[in-house]
C-alpha cells in the first residue's frame, strides 16, 4: 500500500493500539543461529539446504506478514487539528512563544518545522542477520533516539536560531480563534497541517473577526551575495546531517548501524529498545564515526553526571592541569536515563520536567507512553509537545544529490497529557564548550531543585568520576524504587546486575 505523501503526512489520531508484536509474541521468536554466526540454516556442504530449513521459511513468512500489516497500520494518516491555548506560553526546547499574535505563530511554526522528524521506513536494505526490511512496529525508540541525536547535531553544526529554508510560511491555513465555552476549554489556536512549499520566511497575515488567515506573502528582498553563500552552506550542512540518518548500512546514525551496535547489549532487529539502551547505542555510534570528530556523548550512570568523567571525555589534557583552559575541548551531548515513578509517572515530577524543557541547553526527551515511544520537545499547560515516529514512509535514497527533505520534517505538532507519560525516559542536553558545560551544570541543577514538592532532584551533578559499567551492565534505578537520588555522601550504587528489562520498554 502506498503511504500518504510527506507533504500531507499527519499523525494517526487517537490512542494507538499496542504493537502487533506484543499481541503475537510467538512471531518475535528469532531464527536459530548457526555456528558460522548467521541466523537460520545456511547451505550444507552439498550446496543444498538441510532437512530443517522449514522454520527459517516460516520465520521469513511471518516477518513479511508482520511487515505488511505494519505498513498498512502505520501508513494511513488521519488529519486532525491540535489546539493551542493562545493565552498560555508554549515552550519549545528552551524557547517560549505566546500564540496571541501572528508573528509569534509564524516564529513557532518555523522553529517546529525545522526539527528533524525521523519515522518508520519501509523497503530499505535488509538488516544484517535478519529478514527485516522495515522497522515498522518495533523501531520507534530507535527513531526517537535518532531525533534526540539529530537535535544535538543541529545545535552543534548550525548557528543558533537556524531554521530550515524549505518551510517558512503557512499557506492555505486558517488559525481559528475559538471562544471559550467552558472553564476547561479556554480560547485556543487550532493548528492544522503545514504544507512544505518553498516560500519566503516572512508572511502577511489576513485579519478577520474569527480567524487569522495566511494570505499572499511579500517578496523576499534581494540579499547580499555573502548571505546567499552562507545560506547555501547551511543548507548543505543540513542535507549532510540528514544523510547521516539514512536507512542504508553505511549511514553512521541510520537504523542499520544502531541495530548492529545494539547487538552487544543483547538486542536485535525486531526487539523493543528501552530509552537507556538507546542512549548507549547513540554514544557508541558517535564514538565510532569520523563524521563528527569534535563531538562526544556522555551517558549518566546511577542518575548522576560525574563532572570529571565529562572532562575526561571532552578533553583529557584538562585533567593534567585543571586550572587551565584548553582549546581542544570537544562539544558534548549529555544523556541522562531516569525513571520518574513506578508503574506510572509520579505527578510530583511534572514541574521538574517542565523546568528542564525550559532550558536552552535541553535537546529533548526520549520516552513516550507505554508501548509507544515519542520524542518530547516542549509543553503547554499540562500537555507535552512531541514528534511521533509512528508513521511509515518509503525509504529515501540519501546518497543521491538533492534528495527530497520534506519527509524528514514534520508539519503537524501534536500534544498529549503529562499524565500519560511513561516514567522511563532519557533526557538530553548539549554543551558546545567548557564554559557552556559549566553553565549547563548550574542551570540544570537549578531547574532540578526548583520544585518545592521534591526533597531531592531526579538526577544530579557531582565532582569526581564514576565506574564504567559499559553498555551491557549499565546501572539504573531499579523498578519500583524512587526516581530521585540520595544527596552526596549517601549515594548507594545500584547493582551492576540490574537489567534493562526492569524498565517499561516503550
Catalytic residue positions, numbered: 140, 388, 390
Considering only CA atoms, which of 461, 459, 493, 467 is closest in space to residue 478? Answer: 493
Measured CA to CA, the distance from residue 338 to residue 477 in angstroms comes to: 7
Cβ–Cβ under 8 Å, residues 309 and 466: yes
Measured CA to CA, the distance from residue 477 to residue 239 in angstroms comes to: 38
What are the backbone dihedrals phi and psi of residue 145, each rounded to the nearest 5 degrees, phi first? -65, -40
Considering only CA atoms, which of 73, 76, 66 is closest in space to residue 133? Answer: 66
Task: Convert 93-158 into a string of H (helix), E (strand) and C (coil).
Answer: CCEEECCCCHHHHHHHHHHHHCCCCCCCEECCCCCCCCCCCECCCCCHHHHHHHHHHHHHHHHHHC
Helix (H), strand (E) at residue 339: strand 331-339
Long-range contacts of 468-473 (CB under 8 A, 24+ apart): 469/301, 469/496, 471/264, 471/265, 471/277, 471/280, 471/281, 471/283, 471/284, 472/264, 472/265, 472/266, 473/497
Amino acid at each position: 500500500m502506498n503511504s500518504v505523501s510527506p507533504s500531507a503526512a499527519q499523525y494517526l489520531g487517537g490512542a494507538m493500539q499496542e504493537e502487533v508484536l506484543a499481541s503475537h509474541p510467538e512471531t518475535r521468536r528469532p531464527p536459530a543461529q548457526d555456528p558460522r554466526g548467521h541466523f537460520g540454516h545456511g547451505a550444507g556442504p552439498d550446496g543444498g539446504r538441510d532437512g530443517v530449513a522449514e522454520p527459517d521459511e516460516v520465520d521469513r513468512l511471518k516477518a513479511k506478514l508482520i511487515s505488511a500489516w505494519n505498513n498498512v497500520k502505520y501508513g494511513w494518516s488521519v488529519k486532525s487539528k491540535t489546539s493551542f491555548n493562545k493565552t498560555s506560553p508554549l515552550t519549545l526546547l528552551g524557547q517560549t512563544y505566546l500564540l496571541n499574535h501572528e508573528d509569534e505563530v509564524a516564529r513557532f511554526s518555523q522553529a517546529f518545522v525545522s526539527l528533524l522528524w525521523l519515522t518508520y521506513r519501509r523497503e530499505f536494505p535488509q538488516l544484517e542477520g535478519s529478514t527485516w526490511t522495515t522497522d515498522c512496529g518495533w523501531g520507534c525508540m530507535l527513531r526517537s533516539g535518532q531525533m534526540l541525536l539529530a537535535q544535538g547535531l543541529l545545535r552543534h553544526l548550525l548557528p543558533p536560531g537556524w531554521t530550515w529554508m524549505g518551510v517558512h510560511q503557512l499557506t492555505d491555513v486558517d488559525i481559528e480563534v475559538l471562544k471559550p465555552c467552558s472553564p476547561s476549554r479556554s480560547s485556543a489556536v487550532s493548528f492544522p497541517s503545514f504544507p512544505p512549499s518553498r516560500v519566503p520566511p516572512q508572511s502577511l497575515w489576513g485579519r478577520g473577526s474569527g480567524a487569522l488567515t495566511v494570505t499572499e506573502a511579500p517578496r523576499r528582498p534581494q540579499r547580499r551575495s555573502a548571505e546567499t553563500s552562507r545560506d547555501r552552506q547551511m543548507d548543505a550542512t543540513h542535507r549532510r546531517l540528514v544523510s547521516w540518518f539514512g536507512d542504508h548500512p553505511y549511514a553512521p546514525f541510520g537504523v542499520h548501524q544502531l541495530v548492529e551496535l545494539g547487538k552487544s547489549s543483547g538486542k536485535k532487529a525486531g526487539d523493543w529498545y528501552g530509552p537507556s539502551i538507546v542512549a548507549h547505542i547513540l554514544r557508541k555510534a558517535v564514538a565510532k564515526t569520523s563524521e563528527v570528530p569534535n563531538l562526544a556523548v556522555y551517558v549518566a550512570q546511577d542518575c548522576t553526571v560525574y563532572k570529571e568523567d565529562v572532562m575526561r571525555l571532552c578533553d583529557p589534557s584538562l585533567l593534567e592541569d585543571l586550572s587551565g583552559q584548553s582549546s581542544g575541548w570537544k562539544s558534548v551531548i549529555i544523556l541522562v536515563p531516569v525513571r520518574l515513578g513506578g508503574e506510572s509517572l509520579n505527578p510530583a515530577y511534572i514541574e521538574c520536567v517542565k523546568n528542564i524543557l525550559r532550558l536552552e541547553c535541553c535537546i529533548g526527551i526520549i520516552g513516550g507512553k507505554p508501548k509507544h515511544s515519542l520524542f518530547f520537545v516542549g509543553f503547554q499547560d499540562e500537555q507535552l509537545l512531541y514528534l511521533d515516529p509512528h508513521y511509515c514512509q518509503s525509504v529515501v535514497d540519501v546518497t543521491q544529490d538533492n534528495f527530497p527533505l520534506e519527509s524528514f520534517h514534520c508539519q503537524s505538532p501534536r500534544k498529549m497529557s503529562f499524565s500519560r507519560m511513561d516514567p522511563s525516559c532519557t533526557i538530553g542536553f548539549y554543551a558546545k564548550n567548557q564554559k557552556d558545560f559549566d553553565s549547563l551544570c548550574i542551570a540544570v541543577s537549578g531547574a532540578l531543585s526548583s520544585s518545592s514538592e521534591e526533597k531531592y532532584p531526579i538526577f544530579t551533578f557531582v565532582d569526581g568520576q564514576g565506574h564504567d559499567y559499559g553498555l551491557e551492565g549499565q546501572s539504573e534505578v531499579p523498578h519500583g524504587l524512587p526516581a530521585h537520588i540520595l544527596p552526596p555522601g549517601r549515594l548507594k550504587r545500584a547493582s551492576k546486575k540490574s537489567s534493562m528489562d526492569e524498565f517499561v520498554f516503550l
